[in-house]
């Protein structure tokens, strides 16, 4: 089954945008969930770290406060990384690939886009936020399920998977870089330590990893092991290593993947080199920057090999 390079490009980006919207929903949801469990006076907790995870501090500017942050991450169409912008971009990309997508998948995406654009304001108020976010995650899962269960395993499906996996890996490193690093960097006081577990649970929840982490470790929740789990535990599909390994399988089934696979080898090596920093907040943050840089090189290798139109 032939796949046009232009269509490959749109599938890859469509998948990235959908994944970005879903992951943002998970992060906002777990953060909202966690923050109600923390005492009001516990500083430096506030909503701004969420903006840092999305990597959009410069755009966010001088605004602050819960409503402004949520509005910015969920509904703001001027923020290209917001959920509303992401699903709109996903739809724009996939509108031009409908001939290769199962019809029901397109329908699911359309439903997701209409819901987000019409109801994004519901995320701003706490009492309606959780339902809104849960629905977005559910709709995105439905889209994924349609593809998983009805799309032929050929190049179009694989390009979709590549986009989804690279975005997922990237989002997990962002959670680690900002959330985990900031917890590790907090000055240890009794007040903070009391709530350590709550915060690490929040980190795990933002990638829906809490239950799987507990089953894998069987011990108390502890910072360094959470970091290791999210980076290296390849059996967990949202761990960085898990995403990279899955990409390797996808790549070997695409034509002439060698150049991309050798970049993937380097990315994997960069991730594995983070082992030493699992305890140290500042170094973890730097290490995650390096991993993100490696992921963006992987992205460029994919673009060069598969997506370049006109070569």
Partner 1 sequence: MDELIDRDGKPRPVAAALMSMLDRLGPEELTELQRVAEIEILTMGITFTVYSDGANLDRTWPFDLIPRVISGDEWSLVERGLIQRLVALNHFIDDVYNERRVIADGVFPLELLTGSANYRAQCRGVHPKFGVWAHISGTDLVRDDDGEMYVLEDNLRVPSGVSYVLENRAVAKRVFAEVFQQQNIRPVDAYTDELNKLLSSLAPDGVAEPQIVVLTPGVFNSAYFEHSFLAQRMGAELVEGADLVVGDDECVYMRTIGGLERVHVIYRRIDDLYLDPEAFRPDSTLGVPGLMRAWKAGNVGIANAPGAGVADDKVVYSWVPDLIRYYLDEEPLIPNVPTYRCMYDDERRFVCQNIGDLVVKPANESGGYGILIGNRATATELADAIDAIEADPRNWVAQPILSLSTVPTIIDGAIEPRHVDLRPFILTGARSYVTAGGLTRVALPKGSLVVNSSQGGGSKDTWILDLPADGGP
Q: Which of 62, 78, 99, 258 binds partner 1 (CB under 8 A)?
A: 99
The residue among 51 and 166 lying less far from partner 1, judged by its C-beta, is 166
Enter the tokens of residue 42: 């516990």
| Nearest-angstrom CA–CA distance, 43 and 26 | 23
Decide: is 189 part of the binding site for partner 1 (CB under 8 A): no
Q: Which of 55, 111, 237, 281 binds partner 1 (CB under 8 A)?
A: 111
CB of 97 to partner 1, least distance (A): 8
**148 backbone dihedrals φ, ψ, rounded to 5°:** -60, -40
Enter the tokens of residue 87: 């699903």
- CA neighbours within 13 Å on the CB side: how many for 138? 8
Listed ranges 98-106, 163-171, 239-247, 280-288: which one lies at the site for partner 1 (CB under 8 A) = 98-106
Decide: is 306 part of the binding site for partner 1 (CB under 8 A): yes
| Nearest-angstrom CA–CA distance, 266 and 239 | 17
Decide: is 135 part of the binding site for partner 1 (CB under 8 A): no
The residue among 39 and 255 lying less far from partner 1, judged by its C-beta, is 255
- Closest CA relative to residue 298, chosen from 175, 162, 157, 94: 162
| Nearest-angstrom CA–CA distance, 129 and 131 | 6
Under a CB-based contact definition with an 8 Å cutoff, are residues 241 and 232 in contact?
Answer: yes
Q: What track of x and - describes contact with partner 1 for positions 250 through 279 (by CB under 8 A)? A: ----xxx-----------------------
Q: Which of 46, 96, 185, 304 binds partner 1 (CB under 8 A)?
A: 96
Fill in the DSSP letter of residue 275.
G
**Under the rule (CB under 8 A), what is the footprint of partner 1?**
2-8, 95-96, 98-99, 103, 106-107, 110-111, 114, 155, 159, 254-256, 305-306, 309-311
């Amino acid at each position: 089954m032939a796949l046009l390079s232009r269509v490959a490009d749109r599938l890859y980006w469509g998948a990235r945008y959908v994944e970005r919207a879903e992951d943002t929903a998970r992060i906002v949801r777990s953060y909202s969930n966690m923050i109600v469990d923390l005492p009001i006076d516990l500083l430096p907790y506030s909503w701004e770290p969420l903006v840092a995870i999305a990597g959009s501090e410069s755009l966010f500017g001088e605004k602050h406060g819960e409503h402004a942050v949520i509005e910015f991450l969920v509904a703001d169409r001027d923020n290209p990384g917001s959920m509303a912008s992401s699903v709109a971009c996903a739809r724009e990309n996939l509108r031009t690939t409908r001939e290769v997508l199962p019809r029901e998948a397109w329908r699911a995406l359309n439903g997701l886009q209409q819901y987000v654009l019409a109801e994004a304001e519901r995320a701003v108020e706490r009492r309606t936020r959780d339902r809104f976010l849960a629905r977005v995650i559910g709709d995105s899962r439905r889209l994924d399920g349609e593809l998983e269960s009805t799309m032929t395993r050929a190049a179009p499906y694989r390009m979709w998977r590549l986009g989804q996996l690279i975005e997922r890996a990237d989002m997990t490193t962002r959670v680690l870089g900002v959330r985990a690093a900031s917890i590790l960097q907090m000055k240890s006081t009794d007040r903070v330590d009391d709530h350590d577990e709550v915060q690490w649970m929040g980190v795990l929840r933002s990638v829906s990893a809490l239950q799987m982490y507990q089953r894998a470790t069987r011990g108390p929740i502890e910072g360094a092991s959470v970091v290791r789990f999210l980076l290296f535990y390849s059996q967990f599909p949202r761990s960085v290593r898990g995403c990279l390994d899955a990409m390797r399988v996808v790549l070997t089934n695409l034509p002439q993947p060698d150049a991309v696979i050798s970049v993937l080898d380097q990315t994997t090596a960069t991730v594995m080199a983070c082992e030493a920093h699992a305890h140290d907040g500042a170094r973890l943050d730097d290490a995650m920057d390096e991993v993100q840089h490696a992921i963006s090189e992987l992205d460029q290798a994919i673009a060069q090999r598969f997506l370049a139109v006109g070569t």
